[in-house]
Amino acid sequence: MIIAGEKSGEEHALSFFPQLRKLVPHVHFFGVGGEDLQHEGVEVLYHLKEFSSMGFSEVIGKIPFYSNALKRIESEVLKRKTKTAILVDFQGFNLRLAKRLKRHGVKVLYYVAPQAWAWKPHRAQALAENVHTLFTILPFEQSWFKLRGVDQVRSIPHPLMLTYKKILNDLPERTHGSWNNKVKILLLPGSRKFEVSSLLPIFIEATKALKKNYNLEIHLVKVSHIDQSFYDGFSSEIDFLYESEDLTDALRSAHIAIAASGTVTLSTGLFEVPTVVCYKASLLNEFIFNNFIKYKGPISLTNIIHGKNVFPEFVQDQADAVHITRAISSWLDNEKVYNQTKRVLKETKTLLSGEDFSVPEYMAQVLNE
């Protein structure tokens, strides 16, 4: 069984799954995923569109759905005599599922460790009790989990490193001034409807303000599961529109990005694109975050990996056009500041290197046992 409950999880899975299928052609895979995993031969019980939710308030509203899904998946595991499960990220659901699977003797390979060091440290104990192997993707995570009793931990290169491995060795030169008076700003407002609807208007407002002083070309990456009509409302402000599968091309050409906090902010770091990171949540989510979550560090992956704010971060009320405009202007007006950010970003690849071993071969060995 394989569970990839959101798009970023499916993308992580694609870094190892095609090769894994070749190594174990006799194994049938079923579970949760999207079109890409279906294309790779996975029998999808639930489409990831049904699973995906953002923030505490959305999750609370879907508790009955997740509860029924847990029961159905557990039933399928018993009926199919499932021996091994690959759980990809999606920690709220997958940690509960891992506990049920352990009771039935299913080996759990947990791919992409939950960020327990930031949100819920007690989850390390649940992993220690219920998971056969935990795969970590951030430099410090392996030792953090081992110190908390998770014995079988493998540190792997971040899946994006595997996805972009060849491309990252051949990035175009984009130092300050290389844009020949036409600065390409890439808008990455997220992959969830709530993110896009709350952030894209702010991103557009910021670029309109910047256009008063700079010659800009505005690029946007859209996602297929959000109604095209929403993007059409901003068509007069967008010079070039990319589909989500063309993200690589968009990153290669961009000089600066404005992005929703998420995996894509690591992509911009790997592609050495100075990025303004924004995050907005509902009032309920903000209340819970401010009152019950102790983590106070950076929110974007590039900043977490570097241990400092390479990218400016604006959260909630600060995620507005004024702050975004000011941050981007500081790069456009100051060659030294912009090029220094680029130099720091060149180190991102080195910081993400993990153990030198094959994830598909390791998983195939566990499956064949």
Quickly state the pLDDT bin for 53 (edges 50, 70, 90): low
Quickly state the pLDDT bin for 48 (edges 50, 70, 90): confident
- Do residues 92 and 100 touch, judged by C-beta distance below 8 A? no
pLDDT value for 226: 82
How far is 280 from 204, CA to CA, in rounded Å?
16
* Same domain for 50 and 7: yes
Residue 26 predicted with pLDDT over 50:
yes
Residue 200 predicted with pLDDT over 70:
yes
In a domain, 238, yes or no: yes
* Same domain for 199 and 254: yes
* Same domain for 131 and 79: yes
If you average pLDDT over residues 3-28, what whole number do you get? Answer: 93
pLDDT value for 203: 97
Residue among 134, 107, 150 nearest 369 (CA): 107
In a domain, 76, yes or no: yes
If you average pLDDT over residues 106-127, what whole number do you get? Answer: 87
Quickly state the pLDDT bin for 228 (edges 50, 70, 90): confident
Residue 60 predicted with pLDDT over 90:
no
* Same domain for 359 and 344: no
Question: Which run of H or of E encompasses 310?
Answer: none
In a domain, 129, yes or no: yes
Cβ within 8 Å of residue 225, ≥6 positions away: 49, 191
* Residue-wise pLDDT tens digits, 233-270: 899 999 999 998 899 999 999 999 999 998 899 999 99
Residue 289 predicted with pLDDT over 80:
no
Quickly state the pLDDT bin for 161 (edges 50, 70, 90): confident
Look up the CATH number of the domain holding residue 111: 3.40.50
* Same domain for 256 and 128: no
In a domain, 162, yes or no: no
Exposed/middle/buried for residue 282 (C-beta within 10 Å: 0-12, 13-18, 19+): middle
pLDDT value for 294: 56
Sheet of 133-136, strands arranged across: 43-47, 30-33, 2-4, 84-88, 107-111, 133-136, 153-155
Sheet of 240-243, strands arranged across: 240-243, 216-222, 183-188, 256-260, 275-279, 313-315
Quickly state the pLDDT bin for 292 (edges 50, 70, 90): very low
* Same domain for 76 and 120: yes
Q: How does strand 107-111 pair with strand 30-33?
A: unpaired
Quickly state the pLDDT bin for 225 (edges 50, 70, 90): confident
Residue 286 predicted with pLDDT over 60:
no
If you average pLDDT over residues 326-355, what whole number do you get? Answer: 92
Query: CA 172: distance to chain centroid?
Result: 24
Least confident segment among 116-120, 165-169, 202-206: 116-120
In a domain, 163, yes or no: no
* Same domain for 345 and 362: no
If you average pLDDT over residues 167-184, what whole number do you get? Answer: 86
Look up the CATH number of the domain holding residue 187: 3.40.50.2000
Question: Which run of H or of E encompasses 185?
Answer: strand 183-188
Query: For the chain, what percent of residues have pLDDT higher than 90?
Result: 63
How far is 56 from 58, CA to CA, in rounded Å?
6
Under DSSP, the state recorded for 237 is G
In a domain, 91, yes or no: yes
* Same domain for 205 and 122: no
If you average pLDDT over residues 43-69, what whole number do you get? Answer: 77
pLDDT value for 282: 56
pTM of the prediction? Answer: 0.75
* Same domain for 342 and 358: no
Averaged pLDDT of the chain: 89
Cβ within 8 Å of residue 279, ≥6 positions away: 260, 261, 299, 313, 314, 315, 316, 319
Residue among 118, 99, 116, 119 nearest 153 (CA): 116
If you average pLDDT over residues 352-357, what whole number do you get? Answer: 79
pLDDT value for 357: 84
In a domain, 248, yes or no: yes
CB atoms within 10 A of CB 47: 14
pLDDT value for 193: 80
Residue 69 predicted with pLDDT over 80:
yes
Residue 103 belongs to what domain range? 2-156+354-368
* Same domain for 137 and 277: no
pLDDT value for 202: 97
* Same domain for 99 and 235: no
pLDDT value for 288: 47
pLDDT value for 293: 52
Using alpha carbons only, how large is the chain's radius of gyration in Å?
21
Total count of domains within the chain:
2
Query: CA 246: distance to chain centroid?
Result: 16
* Same domain for 79 and 11: yes
In a domain, 181, yes or no: yes
- Location of structure tokens 């390479």: 310
Integer angstrom CA distances of residue 221 from 93, 180, 258, 293, 325: 29, 23, 11, 31, 20
How far is 348 from 308, CA to CA, in rounded Å?
12
